[in-house]
Amino acid sequence: MKYIFKKTGFIIIIFTLIIACNKDDKLQTGTVNLLFSRDTVFFDTVFSGIGSDTRYFKVKNPYDLPVNINKIYLEKGDESKFKININGIPENYTENTIIDAGDSIYVFVEVLINTDEDNITEEDKIIFDTGENSQNVKLLAIGTDVHFLNDSLINSQTWINDKPYLIYNSVAVAENQTLTIEEGTHIYSHKDSRFIIAGTLKVNGTEENPVIFEADRLNGHSSIFYDIFAEDSTDNYYDVAGQWSGIWLTKLSKDNEINNAIIKNAITGITVDSSQNSNPQLSIHNSIIEHHSSTGIFARISSISATNCLIADCGYYNILLTRGGNYEFYHCTVSNYWKGIRNTPAVYINNYFQYDGTVYLYDLEKAYFGNCIIWGNTETETAADVYTEGVSSDYMFDNCILKIDPESNINTNDPEHYSNILLNTDPLFTDFYEYDFTLSENSPAINKGNISITNTYPALLNFDLNNINRTNDAAPDLGCYEFQ
């Protein structure tokens, strides 16, 4: 009886294995139609000689049986500029790839283009041959030549809009030298790189052709873990902060001027270091500073004149003015709806530095905000933390919209520091979710500006950031945008 039981058990095990083997050997037959998470993989602005980011898509088996893909390969073969990785195997040609029933595989794609031309197009296809059917995913890349700078120290020169500039590590302008950047020039900075000015920076953008400083990562996220629900890497990096270090105006720099620039995606947009310059160390006009993981403008013991600027979407501070200095901001919109956790105000001012238990005081000669909007998604978006004994503490918010927690100890009735404030009055931006900080038709900021403030610098302030005349109606609007 014992022998019979053992024999019967053995037969059952063998029978089970045979069934399992037959089940595993059974594949979907006939015309197989795979499902693809996208029909085209697109690489926008691939720099010559610099490999692209990795993009990916999913290939799904929609059937109840496994599918065998006889061949997966690049149509152009060895002549292709593209490289592919099939589910972790870096091969441009593979055979007999099995996708289990209802399962998927990932296909990763990169491209390398070498060109001395602008906007050259490279195309190819990934072919999926299942025997009775052949499907494909198109590959498309736009390549461009660049001026490449890697850990470069430069003397006086002018950058023009002939092709983009790509910075790796850092570029530094030497002391007493001037870098002039003409309208329409595009500067891309690689991860952790920094734009260092020990001399002078002159940025001559225009409304139609601004100078753009941004990160060099333009395509979608390469990590399949970025979004566990994503089907492919289609996300854009245009508003991702912290991708490069930013512009640093060192204490050796002087007379820096930035006109019509867009500065984005950095850790700190502009750092303005201590300076004894008689003129403002930085004059910035008609510029956008946004999407920075720490701070938009960070200044210490320095001097800034800012007109018609938008400073938005920063991880900690939009404007951080420390250890005193001399600052003026006219018709600026400071808006912070940072999507992460933020407990800091959009604008913070102080006139001291504390180290090892000792407080060092500095003169705050002036911190003036006129006809500005300072708003965001925290309870208090403006804070001045200043010492008043034995040191200057001159700050003024004049004719502005401010957001301040009524329970805070900030006294907006103090005429030395606050004048004609619209307190806790939502400016009603057009669409702050999409970073559109123009004014909607019901905005309380419309016609609330003081024309005498605008007339402080009429050549700079009579027209707004979009070149709309502020002086054609009853009164100018607050902020950098005039309602139209």
The CATH number given to whatever domain includes residue 61 is 2.60.40.2310
Q: Is residue 5 a part of any domain in this protein? A: no
Q: What is the pLDDT of residue 441?
A: 97
What pLDDT digit, counting tens, does each position of 42-76 carry? 988 899 888 888 899 999 999 999 999 999 999 99
Q: Is the pLDDT of residue 225 over 60?
A: no
The reported pTM is 0.85
Is residue 366 domain-shared with residue 276, that is, in the same domain?
yes
Averaged over 193-216, what is the pLDDT? 97
Q: Is residue 24 a part of any domain in this protein? A: no
Q: Is 42 helix (H, G, I), strand (E, B) or coil?
A: strand
Q: Is 7 helix (H, G, I), strand (E, B) or coil?
A: helix
Query: Residue 81 is part of which domain span?
Result: 35-143
Q: Is residue 382 a part of any domain in this protein? A: yes
Q: Is residue 9 a part of any domain in this protein? A: no
Is residue 118 domain-shared with residue 202, that is, in the same domain?
no
State the CB neighbour count (10 A cutoff) for residue 60. 16
Q: Rounded to an integer, what distance in angstroms lies between the CA atom of residue 203 and that of residue 182?
A: 6
Is residue 139 domain-shared with residue 218, that is, in the same domain?
no
End-to-end, the C-alpha distance of the chain in Å comes to 97
Q: Which residue has the higher pLDDT, 121 or 259?
A: 259
Q: Is residue 201 a part of any domain in this protein? A: yes
Choosing from 143, 175, 196, the residue where a domain stops is 143
73: tokens are 């390969």
Q: Is the pLDDT of residue 221 over 60?
A: no
Q: What is the pLDDT of residue 71?
A: 96
Choosing from 96, 115, 143, the residue where a domain stops is 143
Dihedrals phi, psi of 249, to nearest 5 degrees: -90, 100
Amino acid at 256: N
Q: Is residue 1 a part of any domain in this protein? A: no
* HEC assignment per residue over 64-95: CCCEEEEEEEECCHHHCCEEEEECCECCCEEE
Is residue 45 domain-shared with residue 61, that is, in the same domain?
yes
Q: Taking a C-beta distance cutoff of 8 angstroms, is the pair 163, 118 a contact?
A: yes
Q: Is residue 368 a part of any domain in this protein? A: yes
What pLDDT digit, counting tens, does each position of 452-472 carry? 999 999 999 999 999 999 999
Domain count, the chain: 2
Q: Is the pLDDT of residue 16 over 80?
A: no
Is residue 111 domain-shared with residue 246, that is, in the same domain?
no
* H/E run at residue 274: none
Q: What is the pLDDT of residue 1?
A: 42
Q: Rounded to an integer, what distance in angstroms lies between the CA atom of residue 481 and that of residue 467?
A: 9
Q: Rounded to an integer, what distance in angstroms lies between the CA atom of residue 136 and that of residue 139?
A: 10
What pLDDT digit, counting tens, does each position of 389-422 carry? 999 999 999 999 999 999 999 999 999 999 999 9
Q: What is the pLDDT of residue 235?
A: 53
Is residue 77 domain-shared with residue 192, that is, in the same domain?
no
Tally: H helices and E strands in the chain: 3, 39
Q: Taking a C-beta distance cutoff of 8 angstroms, is the pair 255, 279 a contact?
A: yes
Averaged over 213-237, what is the pLDDT? 57
Q: Is the pLDDT of residue 230 over 60?
A: no
Task: Provide the Cα torsion 146, 150, 151, 157; round to 10°.
Answer: -30
What pLDDT digit, counting tens, does each position of 108-157 carry? 999 999 888 778 899 999 999 999 999 999 999 989 899 999 999 999 99
Q: Is the pLDDT of residue 299 over 50?
A: yes
Q: Which of 77-81, 119-123, 184-188, 327-331 has the lowest mean pLDDT?
A: 119-123
Pairing of strands 120-129, 67-74: antiparallel
Distances (CA, A) of 253 to 155, 165, 242: 13, 22, 24
What's the chain's Rg over C-alpha atoms?
30
Q: Is residue 321 a part of any domain in this protein? A: yes
CB burial of residue 316 (10 Å; 0-12, 13-18, 19+): buried
Across the chain, mean pLDDT equals 91
Distances (CA, A) of 231 to 226, 235, 310: 11, 11, 35
Q: Which residue has the tokens 């959009």?
A: 346
Is residue 116 domain-shared with residue 248, that is, in the same domain?
no
Q: What is the pLDDT of residue 316?
A: 98
Q: What is the pLDDT of residue 192?
A: 92
Q: What is the pLDDT of residue 278?
A: 78
Is residue 90 domain-shared with residue 153, that is, in the same domain?
no
Is residue 394 domain-shared with residue 284, that is, in the same domain?
yes
